[in-house]
Chains A and B, each alone.
Chain A
Amino acid sequence: MSDPVGTVPGRVVSAADAADRAVLDRIAAGELGALEELYDRYRTIAYSIAYRITTDAALAEDVLQDAFLGAWRNAARYVEGRGSVKTWLLSIVHHRAIDAVRRRRPTTELPEREDAPPPALTLPDVWAEVAGNLDRDAVRAALATLSDVQREAIELAYFSGLTQVEIADRTATPLGTVKSRMRLGLLALRRELTGIGEGTS
């Protein structure tokens, strides 16, 4: 791992995430009130993501219901050390929203229908540390440092649910160029957000 912080994965936990984990334990035990707490805490950002991706209020509502129900059923499967509860929850929302828009596009191959969220990426601890300091302004400022084509490639993938092949088609760009735009864009974001260099790749 290129992670410069030599801590055990999952050891760095913010106070907010510790509270979220307690809520998730109660959800796993079938407590409806705990789901209500989780919803109240993240409803705005969760709905914002769903709405941004689907651009459809009714569909965004369905996505949110689907995602929170997924969290309700799979709370016991959340694995510590693989990112915060918030990250986990929002990745479910993102996954379901992309699923919904791809379903609406008949030409796209449908992703596999999964009850569980996508496998969590093992996030270096540095992310747990910076997560508490990341707000909308910080992320927007970081995105603003990307070149237009890098930002476009990342946004078409993350918010529009296009595959890299589809992005190449849509932007009339060679596939290899799309791949490197996405990669360089992500690395630049990482650099901006964490102050950490490009690492080993």
Chain B
Amino acid sequence: MTCDEVRDLAAGFVLGALRPEEVRAVRDHLETCPEAHAEIAELGGVVPYLAEAVEPVEPPAGLKARILAAAAADLEMRTADAVVAAAAVADAEPAPAPERAPVVRFPEPIERAVRERARRATPTAWLVRIAAAAAIVALAGWNVLLQGQLSDARSYEDGVAAVLEVASRPGSQAAILADPDGDGPRGIAAVAADGSVVLAMRDLPATSGTEIYEAWVIGGDGVPVPIGGFAVGGDGTAVFTADATTAGHGVTLALTRERAPGATTPTLPIVSAGVATSPAG
């Protein structure tokens, strides 16, 4: 394309009124042409201001929540991508073999489901789970945002980011917690090499009075060990951390609802549970 041809198409170019191949030809020319082609800026400078002439129309009130939810989901996918990349590195390091499947003193169907998931866990499955977790989290972000509780979404998002960060460290394990009966409370947890636990949950029914959710670690001996509890407000989300626990490889993490803090045996039913697996587990 010659300079004269570009000048001929300049108005159409700045107004976006050219066919795709013409746009490409003009762009290619402008990138390599030693001439300044001032006409492009001269004509194009005015174009953005055409937008000012439109009749103002207010967008619907719900659109902001939709957009922020989409952005939150995007952010979480980016975080998950980073974790997958980190996990791929961690994968290269040898990890101890997983201990035998724990004997869990919980109702039979749950135990079976939990063990089944543990058995199927391969490095690939672990990565898929992280991706799935990101999807769950994205949906969680949606729900919370649609209720207009952006601050809650942020704290939950921060919790998930913290979990993913821990999960990406060498020697860490990750678990997806789900309601054994279906789509109730769910979340994501990470167990660091030193046994500390980070947990982010959503869709938990609010606690009242002295009620709390107690988190349990169930190791190879099948005995649930309480690692701490937390209350939940109306938004249904919680971010919980516990320092060095006895959690080893392949532990089950579970939540129960207790009348008061200090329970030493879990009160059934299990609200949400999942098995921690490492990249090499």
Contacts and interface: CB of A to CB of B under 8 A. Distances in A.
Contacts of B19: 109, 163, 165
A143 interface: yes
B68 A32 contact: yes
A201 B20 CA distance: 25
Contact of B7 (A39, A64, A134, A201): A201
Contact of A187 (B40, B43, B51, B60): B43
Nearest to B24: A112
Interface in B45-100: 45-60, 63-64, 66-68, 70-72, 74-75, 78
A61 B16 contact: no
A126 to B, nearest CB: 8
Interface string A160-201: 011111010000000000010011001101100100000111
Contacts of A200: 38-39, 42
B44 interface: yes
Contacts of A161: 16
Nearest to A198: B42
B17 A32 contact: no
B117 interface: no
A35 B68 CA distance: 8
Given A52-B54, A157-B15, A190 B45 contact: yes
A44 B74 contact: no
B47 A186 contact: yes
Given A165-B19, A186-B14, A64 B74 contact: no
Nearest to B15: A157
Contacts of B78: 30
Interface in A25-81: 30, 32-33, 35-36, 39-40, 43-49, 51-52, 57, 60-61, 64-65, 68-69, 72-73
A19 interface: no
A43 B15 contact: no
Interface string B1-37: 0000001111110111111100110010000000010
A2 interface: yes
Interface residues of A, number: 76
A36 B42 contact: no
A150 B15 CA distance: 13
Contacts of A187: 42-43
A39 B65 CA distance: 11
Nearest to A143: B53
Contact of A190 (B20, B46, B150): B46
Given A1-B38, A162-B17, A179-B11, A45 B48 contact: no
Contact of A44 (B42, B59, B67): B59
Contacts of B11: 179, 182-183, 186
A19 to B, nearest CB: 18
A72 B48 contact: no
B17 A164 contact: yes
B119 interface: no
A166 to B, nearest CB: 8
A123 B41 contact: yes
Contacts of B105: none
Given A158-B50, A164-B18, A183-B10, A32 B72 contact: yes
A5 to B, nearest CB: 12
B58 A44 contact: yes
A6 interface: no
Nearest to A99: B16
A122 interface: yes
A60 B163 CA distance: 37
A2 B42 contact: yes
B51 A61 contact: no
Interface in A113-163: 118-119, 121-124, 126-127, 131, 134-136, 138-140, 143, 154, 157-159, 161-163
Contacts of B74: 69, 72-73
4 cross-chain pairs, A with B, having the tightest CB-CB distances, nearest first: A47-B59, A157-B17, A121-B44, A182-B11
Interface of A: 1-3, 30, 32-33, 35-36, 39-40, 43-49, 51-52, 57, 60-61, 64-65, 68-69, 72-73, 83, 87, 90-91, 94-95, 98, 109-112, 118-119, 121-124, 126-127, 131, 134-136, 138-140, 143, 154, 157-159, 161-165, 167, 179, 182-183, 186-187, 189-190, 193, 199-201
